[in-house]
Amino acid sequence: MHRLVGLIVVSLVCSCGVSPSSTGGAGFGATVGGVKDIGQARKVIAQGQVPPSSMVTAEGLFAEHEFAAEGEGCSEVFCARPAFGRYHLRATNTDETFVHVALRSGLGPEWKRPPADLMAVVDRSSMMSIDMKETLHAVAVMVDNLRPDDRFGLVVYDDRATVLIPLGPVTDKEATKKTIREVTVKGSTAGQVPAIELATTELSNAHQAGRMSRIMMFACALPPLGEARFDTIVKDNANAGIALSFFGILAGGGYESARYFTSKRGGNAYFLGSLKDIETIFDTDFDFVITPLAYDFSLSLSLGAVGVTRVWGIPNGEQKLEATTIFPSRRKGAIVMQLDGAPSDGVVKLGFEPATDPTRRSELAPVLVETKGGVRKAVALVNLSDGLKKALELWAAGVKPAARAEVTSLLTDTKAE
C-alpha cells in the first residue's frame, strides 16, 4: 500500500495548480459549482491511506488550475472561450479531438458582491473532537471578512440543534468570535437535519430583495446520498434562493453526498485539509465562494456532423453540457469535451441567467484552433483524473500489481506534460 500511496502523492504534486495570486491574464475567471477541489483525497493520502476513487474528479482538479484561453478577452459578466486540439487519451490509448471551453468573467477590480446573509451550521459532535479548533478558526476568519452590510448567524448541533447566534449584523466582531471559539464538542450528529431547518428559518424570515442568502455548513459528513428529508430542504432552499456551501473538515467522509447536494442551484463544496486552505477560502477567496455569477448554464455546439463522446468538468460527473451554477474565480476554469471527429470550424452557443438579472442571455463563441496550450493542459488533467480513478478502482478490487503499474505509468505521462 505504501508504494501506491507514494506514487499517488507524486502524481498529485505534479498536478498542483497555480496560486491564486499568480493567475495569468487580466480579469477574473469562472468555475462551475459543486465540489471545488480534491483536497479530501490529498488529506487521506497524507495520512498514509488509499482514498476511494470517488474522491478524485476532473471538475475538482480543473477548479485548482489556471488554463490559457484563445480569442479575445471577456467584457461581459460571463464568457466561454472554446478551442480544440488533438491529443492522446490514456483511457482508450487513442488520439482524439478535444474541445476545451475556458470560462471567463469580465468582472473588473471595482466589482463588489451584493450584501450577504450567512448562517453558519457547525457540527459540534464528538466526531469533531480532533478537528474542532480548525473548524472554529474557519468560522472566525469568515466573520473577519464580513462587511458592515452583511448579516451573520450560527447554529450548532450535536444530539440536538441550537441557534447560538441569531441572524443579524455583526456589530462587535471580537465578541462574536469569542462566542464561536467557546463552542465545545459533545454528543452525536442526530441534530444535523434540525440544524439545517433552524438555519433555513432564520434566513427565510430575514429575506430581502438584493441580498444573498447562504448556509455555510461545517461538518465531517453530510447525510447519505439523496436522504429524503435533507434532500427536500436543500432543493426547496435552492429554489427559494438559499444556497448551500459545504466545508468538509479535514479527512471527513461524505464525499459523494457533498457532490450530490452541492450540485443544486447555488451550491459548492470545499475540503479544509489545512490552515492554509482555511485562510485561502475564507480570506483570499471569500467573496468568490459565496457569490454566484450565473445560473442555468448551458452549451450547445455547432460543429457540422461532429458530436460529443464524453464530457469532463460538470458537477457530479454529469455527461451533459449544462451546469446549475457558475461562480467567479481567481483561476480560470474549464469544461472539456471529447469529439467523435475533427471540426474544420464551428461555434459554441453559451446560455445563462446572470445572478443579478433574471433575463436569460446567450452568446456565440467561435471554436478556435489551440495555440496557447489550454487544451493540452486540460487533457493532461483529464488523463490524470481518469488514470488515478482507474488505479484506485483496481486497488479496491484487490488487483494491486495492476494498480501500481497504472500509477507508475501515469506518473511518467504526467511529469512529461
86 forms beta bridges with: 97
Cβ 219 vs Cβ 192: under 8 Å = yes
pLDDT of residue 16: 53
Cβ 292 vs Cβ 263: under 8 Å = no
Q: Which among 110, 168, 180 has a CA at the least distance from the CA of 138?
A: 180
Angle between helices 400-416 and 2-14 (to 10 degrees): 20
- pLDDT (tens, 9 = 90+) of the chain, 417 residues, equals 555 655 555 555 455 554 433 333 456 889 999 888 888 888 788 878 888 888 888 888 898 888 999 998 888 888 899 999 999 999 999 999 999 999 999 888 788 999 999 999 999 999 888 889 889 999 999 999 999 999 999 999 999 999 999 999 999 999 999 999 999 999 999 999 999 999 999 999 999 999 999 999 999 888 877 778 999 999 999 999 999 999 987 555 566 788 888 889 999 998 887 778 888 899 889 999 999 999 999 988 888 888 899 999 988 777 888 889 999 988 777 899 999 988 877 888 999 999 988 889 998 999 999 999 999 999 999 999 999 999 999 999 999 999 999 999 999 998 888
Give the span between the Cα atoms of 214 and 245, in whole angstroms. 7
Give the span between the Cα atoms of 293 and 283, in whole angstroms. 19
Residues written for the chain: 417
Give the span between the Cα atoms of 338 and 78, in whole angstroms. 23
Name the burial class of residue 400, with classes exposed (0-12), middle (13-18) and buried (19+) by CB atoms within 10 angstroms of its CB: middle
Give the span between the Cα atoms of 210 and 356, in whole angstroms. 8
Give the span between the Cα atoms of 85 and 92, in whole angstroms. 17
Q: Which among 152, 170, 140, 143 has a CA at the least distance from the CA of 116?
A: 152
Cβ 326 vs Cβ 32: under 8 Å = yes
Cβ 384 vs Cβ 11: under 8 Å = yes
Cell triple for 390: 482507474
pLDDT of residue 11: 55
Cβ 183 vs Cβ 139: under 8 Å = no
168 forms beta bridges with: 152
Q: Which among 238, 214, 200 has a CA at the least distance from the CA of 150?
A: 214
Phi then psi for residue 391, to 5 deg, are -60, -45
271 forms beta bridges with: 248
Q: Give just the sign of the alpha carbon dihedral 65, 70, 73, 75.
A: negative
pLDDT of residue 317: 77
pLDDT of residue 18: 46
pLDDT of residue 20: 39
pLDDT of residue 17: 52
Phi then psi for residue 339, to 5 deg, are -100, 160
Q: How far is CA 304 from CA 59, 213, 313, 320, 400, in A?
A: 27, 43, 24, 19, 44
Q: pTM higher than 0.85 for the full model? A: yes
